[in-house]
Amino acid sequence: MFQLRYKFFFGFGGLLLIILIVGIQSITRLTQLGGSIDVILRENYRSVVACEHMKESAERIDSGALFVLLGEKEKGRDLIEANLPVFAEALQVELDNITLPGEKDRAWRLRDAFWQYKTLLEEFLSDGNASFSVRRELYLNKLLPTFYEIKSIANAIRVMNQRNMTDSNDRAKRLAAKARRHMYELVIAGVIIGFCFILFAGKWIVQPISRLTRSVDEIRKGNLELVVPVTSKDEIGTLSEAFNQMAAAVREFRRSDRVKVYRYQKATQAAFNSLSDAIAVIDLDGQVEVATGPAKDLFGLKPNAPISMLPDRWLDQLYREVIKKGRQIEADGDRCIVQRSVKGVERYFRPRGLPIMGEDGRAAGVVLLLQDITLLRQQDEMKRSVISTVSHQLKTPLTSVEMAIHLLLTEKPGILTPKQGELLDVAREESERLRTIIDDLLDISRIEAGKAKMNIVPVSPAILAQDGIESFRRTAQDRGVLLTADIEPGLPDVSADPMQIGHVFSNLISNALKYTRPGGSITVSVRNADPRVSFSVSDTGRGIPPEYTGRIFEKFVELPGDDSERGAGLGLSIVKEIITAHKGEITVDSTEGEDTTFTFFLPAADGGRLEDAS
């Protein structure tokens, strides 16, 4: 008796073989068709076009010679001088695109005839004092026959390539018809194999599975004495045996269910107690059913304790919100991170509630999970400390390097060669970029640590926007970019640190200039978004790829193609930290290849004045 996997193998294997053959045939035929089409479109077509250009330019050159012969020398010379380069360029295209037997000899003959024609034409044009009859004889006996020879050879090359294009087209049609016939045959074979597999699948798979399904339904109704007949030795037979063993185990469990349930409860409690996170299961009555050690000791979530009576009222609020919405809820505001002291050591927890869904799709209970993130915070603090320390330590040697480069560029220690000067200029630019990166690292470390000095005062949104734009007007003008401001009148003052918000504008506008082409525009808009004020920087640049919009404010994230003005990927991260420190919010909306808009919100100042609408 075949195992089930072999039955699947024979059934799907045949289909896979047909698909593989179809794929190989398709690739082969398409490759052949592509080759024929490539010959038609790439090789022969270039030669045909080149020959047409040569014929047209040769006729214009001959017309120019006739103008000269008839006394219109200036007009004739202009026509000849305009078309000689055209003929030479088309001739070079043909010489570089020789693909057919016999085409090389004709192309060389055409080249020789053109050189001879140019020599005769120079003689014809330079003999300005010759009589009309002498120049007429030169034109009719030498220049004109050479012109006809050039046209004849070019026409022969054109006809040769057109004929080959027709032959290639016929071959492509024959290949397409043959490939289509083979596809029909393979598709029919695949349909037959698939139909046969469907017929056998019912006997091999569907009937045994249906029997198992009926047995499961019987057991669900309480018939634990049921035994499933084993009619095969394949995987379904093995599953039937396992099903019978499971039924026997269930019967045994029913005899000693109380003992086992008690043991399972103890095992679950032991597993809970081994967890470092604070976890508690709350029933629909709001009572704790089971909890881990930290949940009991740190938050009072003891079994049978009503959650509504606990000192931490926000736990009850979180529980009720999860029950109401029937989805995972994370604590926000001041309870986003909860701090507890354990034996003099501070520990941090991130609370969230997860619903336990019943069969009717409604919440049957809640799991309160307070994840211990102490180690993560310690690692984050350590990372910030390392970044800050390293950045501080780098500033002193970097200053020495910058001073050394400056002294060398002044040529006081000695005269520099041009190459040495170029290398020092590059070194100075890179050291300046390194200083910017170090300053950014220090700024973001101070902001994250809450050590950055913020001078929050009521300030006019219009002044913030105008100050942010002013320093970039000359740069925008030099780059051919229109930089404008669109400020709604009557806006309330906002609570902000003008210097820090200036840094935000500097970063956003410089980024917009970086990615906006000449002729594009950048618009800084300010709008009322009660109880906040929105500031937007929009550009008509290349946009942000969709896969980067969700990560654009992360540290060290750079867009592809930033090689020309690359940094460390910290600018937008600093912008986000500054806006967050102002209790604001920043968003990005971008369409790749079209535009990008960064919008940040600042809270209105209490009792802020309204700006003059004028």
Q: 306-315 pLDDT, tens per residue?
A: 888 888 888 8
In this structure, the answer to whether residues 437 and 508 fall within a common structural domain is no
Q: Of 325, 341, 372, at which residue does a domain stop?
A: 372
Q: Residue 314: inside a domain, yes or no? A: yes
Residue in 352, 603, 395, 409 with CA at minimum distance from that of residue 492: 603
In this structure, the answer to whether residues 19 and 165 fall within a common structural domain is yes
In this structure, the answer to whether residues 350 and 386 fall within a common structural domain is no
In this structure, the answer to whether residues 57 and 179 fall within a common structural domain is yes
> Does the pLDDT of residue 539 top 90, yes or no?
yes
- Write down the mean pLDDT value for the chain: 77
Q: Is the pTM of this model over 0.85?
A: no
pLDDT band at 611 (very low <50, low <70, confident <90, very high): very low
Q: Of 150, 166, 191, at which residue does a domain stop?
A: 191
In this structure, the answer to whether residues 571 and 474 fall within a common structural domain is yes
What is the mean predicted confidence (pLDDT) over 146-170?
A: 85
Range from 19-23, 32-36, 204-208, 539-543 that averages highest in pLDDT:
539-543
Q: How far apart are CA 484 and CA 490, in angstroms?
A: 19
Q: Residue 77: inside a domain, yes or no? A: yes
Peptide bond between residue 518 and the one before it cis (omega within 30 degrees of 0):
no
Number of domains in the chain: 4
| 418-435 per-position pLDDT tens digit | 887 788 777 877 777 676
pLDDT band at 234 (very low <50, low <70, confident <90, very high): low
In this structure, the answer to whether residues 490 and 406 fall within a common structural domain is no
What is the mean predicted confidence (pLDDT) over 166-179?
A: 77
Apex CA 238: angle with CA 237 and CA 241, to 5°? 90
Task: Indicate the Cα dihedral angle 301, 303, 309, 315, nearest 10°.
Answer: 40
310 or 555, higher pLDDT: 310
**The two structure tokens encoding residue 410:** 């002044």
Q: How far apart are CA 247 and CA 225, in angstroms?
A: 8
Instruction: Compute the Cα dihedral for 157, 159, 162, 166 and give only its sign.
Output: negative
In this structure, the answer to whether residues 344 and 438 fall within a common structural domain is no
pLDDT band at 556 (very low <50, low <70, confident <90, very high): low
| 85-139 per-position pLDDT tens digit | 988 898 888 888 888 888 888 889 888 888 988 888 888 888 656 677 877 888 8
Number of other CB atoms surrounding residue 278 within 10 Å: 25
Range of 320's domain?
267-372
In this structure, the answer to whether residues 148 and 277 fall within a common structural domain is no
Residue in 481, 471, 578 with CA at minimum distance from that of residue 535: 578
Instruction: Let me know: does 601 contact 585? Beta carbons within 8 Å.
Output: yes
CATH at residue 561:
3.30.565.10
CATH at residue 354:
3.30.450.20
Instruction: Let me know: does 244 contact 227? Beta carbons within 8 Å.
Output: yes
State CA 49 to chain mean position distance: 41
CATH at residue 435:
1.10.287.130
Going by the DSSP 8-state scheme, the letter that residue 493 receives in this structure is P
Q: How far apart are CA 51 and CA 81, in angstroms?
A: 19
Residues 6+ apart with CB under 8 A from 452: 443, 446, 500, 581
What one-character-per-residue DSSP string does 417-478 give? PHHHHHHHHHHHHHHHHHHHHHHHHHHHHHHHTT-S----EEE-HHHHHHHHHHTTHHHHHH
| 236-247 per-position pLDDT tens digit | 677 777 777 777
Q: Residue 415: inside a domain, yes or no? A: yes
pLDDT at 4: 55
In this structure, the answer to whether residues 461 and 537 fall within a common structural domain is yes
Q: Residue 93: inside a domain, yes or no? A: yes
What is the mean predicted confidence (pLDDT) over 40-51?
A: 76
> Does the pLDDT of residue 494 top 90, yes or no?
yes
In this structure, the answer to whether residues 461 and 589 fall within a common structural domain is yes
| 243-295 per-position pLDDT tens digit | 777 777 766 666 666 566 556 666 666 666 666 678 888 888 888 888 887 87
Q: How far apart are CA 538 and CA 589, in angstroms?
A: 9
pLDDT band at 532 (very low <50, low <70, confident <90, very high): very high
pLDDT at 613: 29
Q: 178-201 burial by CB neighbour count: b if 16+ within 10 A, else e?
A: ebeebeeebeebbeebeeebeeee
Q: Of 431, 448, 465, at which residue does a domain stop?
A: 448
Q: Residue 210: inside a domain, yes or no? A: no
> Does the pLDDT of residue 149 top 80, yes or no?
yes
pLDDT at 461: 94
In this structure, the answer to whether residues 469 and 397 fall within a common structural domain is no
Q: Residue 153: inside a domain, yes or no? A: yes
pLDDT at 264: 60
In this structure, the answer to whether residues 509 and 572 fall within a common structural domain is yes
> Does the pLDDT of residue 533 top 90, yes or no?
yes
Instruction: Please report, for residues 279, 440, 441, 450, 574, the alpha-carbon distance to residue 392 in angstroms, rounded to integers and kept in the order given.
Output: 42, 12, 10, 18, 18
Q: Residue 257: inside a domain, yes or no? A: no
pLDDT band at 487 (very low <50, low <70, confident <90, very high): very high
CATH at residue 130:
1.20.120.1730
Q: Residue 290: inside a domain, yes or no? A: yes
